[in-house]
Structure 1
Amino acid sequence: MMSAHMMLWQLRAATKGSFCRRCYRPQPQQGPLRPLTWSPRQLDRKETNSCPSATSNTEYPRVFITGGLGQLGVGLAQLLRKHFGRNNVILSDIKKPPDEVLNSGPFVYADVLDYKNLRELVVNNRITWLIHYSALLSAIGEANVTLARSVNITGLHNVLDIALENSLRLFVPSTIGAFGPSSPRNPTPDLCIQRPRTIYGVSKVHTELMGEYYHHKYGLDFRCLRYPGIISADSEPGGGTTDYAIQIFHDALATAKFTCYLRPDTRLPMMHVRDCHRATLEFLQAPAERLSMRTYNIGAMSFTPNELACEIRKHLPSFEVTYAPDAVRQGIADSWPMSFDDSNAQGDWGWKAEFQLRELVEDMLRSIKEQKKNAAVS
């Protein structure tokens, strides 16, 4: 007797694709098929009545974030939950979440290399937007190329296929690291030669091209922003080349001394994390007809370690910085853009940064002081 699994497989093949949510008619097949499976519900959503944003509502997207315990996932989830509801945004990672993350909204274990489990999570939780943050960053990737290739490239292929199979809106960030020494550096436009020299950068160029290919060939709603260095007081440095611009604030307040692994004149594009989250949300909400491309630069400010240190000294006059350039990270930084041309993002969907260097420094020092004060009280 034919199994139910095989019957569904043949039914899907006969209809040449999946059913459209809106019209319930068979749609043209959009990409490669993988066998269907079932699993028990993996997330028990608890509805609350505290406010409209705390309930699951079909008018809002259902968002799934991979790599959610990295620098950006938790903060983005907080912003999205304010807009779409606490239970409509699901964080995931392969690490144990701290209590405050676990108590703030849905969290599940998800390994992006486990295709079957990832697909089950998407299907069982009726996901409509997939935000793929899982990646090994530049310096860590150079120390473990094999793992970076697996996570950054194989993981991408899994989310591309899952997004296509389930008609998701897929967001995957790219980076300044997607450019190389032969790219124009000041400013760097959206479209130019790239040819990066790190596995992180190579994987991000692969991300951009594969996403655009899936969009043009299959109609996948793929969206990608090239992030500059992101600066946040709420997360520890994660192994990126631009992370000196996070550690410097902690050291300035703790010891008034900092040793920088880049030269004092190394100029790189940077962005406050709140601008980064807002850009991501605005881009995800932008109507498709306004997007002239699928991968955009977004910019805010550019500065050197020396310029950042000088701005910090306006608040902490005794702050001292020494420079001990690390050959690997300095080489990476020297191949990256010095500033971004983000005129297409500004023109197409209205992007505009709010934080510049002065506001960035003031906010980072204030936020870290508050964290230390709260930690001392608790």
Structure 2
Amino acid sequence: MKKVLVTGSLGQIGSELVTRLRKDLGLNNVIATDLRKIEGSPIVEEGVFETLDVMDQEAFLKMAKKHKPDMIVHLAALLSATTEKNPKLGWKLNMDGLINALDVAKEIGAGLFAPSSVAAFGPDVDFQNTPQDTFMHPTSMYGVTKVAGELLMNYYYTKYGVDTRSVRFPGLMSYKTEPGGGTSDYNVDMYYQALLKGEYECYLKAGTYMDMMYIDDAIDAIVNLINADSKKLKHRNAFNLAPFTAEPEMLATSIRKHIPNFKLNYKIDPVRQAIADSWPDHMDDSAAREEWGFKAKYSLDDITEVLLRELTIKFKKQGKL
């Protein structure tokens, strides 16, 4: 991997991945793109940035031919809760955008990484240690697009030889970008509200377990998989990743080690609860560990310490604390 084009680069994963890749490859070898341009953003101002609508295949191909990346990281997509509110839009953006990225990769001879998700599973799997290879019957439109995306990427690999690679991300945790439209985003919002209000109203019920992962581990995983020896990959699309599993009360307990009076309340959102209930409690990620050496560094308590420290600094600068 010498030169990378990243779509959706202003999102949670994209913003941190672009920063990492610019350090690894140099400013001129990372082409950050997004549908919008945020003035003042380091992603926009500190390296190569271009606006790109991934639904415009002609513009996508023109840009790729201009920059000639050897790897495309396709992150532009709608997340789970947002997709469920507008399933047709979610299908169109997530699937048409992906197939455009695949066609561009095929045309210029580049590899392609696009993330899948724990949402790709459905309620008929083994919820504990969900296998790498098992039933894929999701009940959310977001999950449907992720399964279809995995199959489409496998098709382009076997049919056209496009070097496709993917992971099934769990809920990601980061202090740099605010919670978005994901079902698992309560895990970050809880830390925001713990500092700002001293309490949090959770839209998922107690005991709702799901895999979680710190953003730095997620970025390491993308970089390591992209750089992995192709001959060692038995699986490509997509690898389970599951550093640890947690439910709301566990996060609250970890937070109380730093904010003893933190209160956790509940107001269940039926839509997001139904989505979460269809996901595994914990995936088996042994294939990722064996085939390309995946290993996470951060535990839940490690993440809590980092998030509370960094968010405190952030909020003080903003005058919120």
- TM-score band w.r.t. shorter chain: over 0.9
Deviation sequence 1:279-337 (CA, Å, 0-9, x none): 10000000101111102111211100011001101100110010111100000000001
SS of alignment partner, residue 108 of structure 1: strand
User: 1:96 and 2:34 equivalent?
Assistant: no
Quick check: 1:64–1:127 contact (8 Å CA) kept in 2?
yes
Q: Measure, in 2, the Cα distance between the counterparts of 1:67 and 1:200.
A: 17
Residue among 44, 47, 67 paired with 2:8: 67
Counterpart in the other structure of 2:171: 229
Match of 1:87 in 2: 28
* 2: CA distance, partners of 1:339 / 1:164: 35
Counterpart among 43, 47, 51 of residue 105 in structure 1: 47
Q: Which has the higher contact order (CA 8 A, sep 6+)?
A: 2
Q: What's the CA shift for 1:98?
A: 3.5
State the SS of the aligned residue for 2:283.
coil
Deviations 1:138-191 (A, max 9, x none): 110011111111100111111111111111110000000001111221111110
Q: Residue type matched to 2:273 in 1?
A: Q
Residue 11 of structure 2 aligns to a residue whose secondary structure is: coil
**Matched residue SS, 2:208:** coil
Deviation, structure 1 residue 68: 1.1
Give the equivalent residue in structure 1 for 2:248.
Answer: 305
> Does residue 1:212 correspond to 2:154, yes or no?
yes
d(CA) in 2 for partners of 1:96 and 1:264?
39
1:258 aligns with 2:200: yes
Separation in structure 1 between the aligned mates of residue 41 and residue 76 of structure 2, nearest angstrom:
21
The answer for the alignment partner of 1:286 in structure 2 is 228
Count of aligned pairs between the two proteins: 318
Task: Say whether residues 1:318 and 2:264 are aligned partners.
Answer: no
The structural deviation recorded for 1:131 is 0.4
User: 1:73-93: per-residue Cα shift (whole Å, max 9, x none)?
Assistant: 010001111111011111111
- The answer to whether the 8 Å contact 1:174/1:225 transfers is yes
Corresponding residue SS for 1:64: strand
Does the residue aligned with 2:78 lie in a helix, a strand or coil? coil
TM-score, normalization by structure 2: 0.97
The alpha carbon displacement at 1:361 in A equals 0.6
- Structure 1 residues 1-378: aligned runs within 5 Å: 61-101=2-42, 102-294=44-236, 295-376=238-319
- State the shift of 1:374 in Å: 3.0
Residue in 2 aligned with 1:31?
A: none
Runs (5+) with no aligned partner, structure 2: none
Q: Deviations over 1:238-276 (max 9, x none)?
A: 110000001000100001010000001100000000000
CA distance in structure 2 between the partners assigned to 1:261 and 1:206 by the alignment: 28
Distance 2:2 2:217 in 1: 21
Relative to the length of structure 1, the TM-score reads 0.83
> Cα deviations across residues 331-377 of structure 1 (Å, max 9, x unaligned)?
00000011111101101111100001110111110110111233349
Give the match's secondary structure for 2:33: strand
Contact 2:234 2:291 in 1 (8 A): yes
CA contact (8 A) 1:70 1:238 kept: no
What percentage of aligned pairs have identical amino acids?
39
TM-superposed deviation, 1:104: 1.8
Per-residue Cα deviation, 1:207-255 (whole angstroms, up to 9, x for no partner)? 1011011111221100011101000000011110000001000100001
RMSD of aligned residue pairs (Cα, Å): 1.1
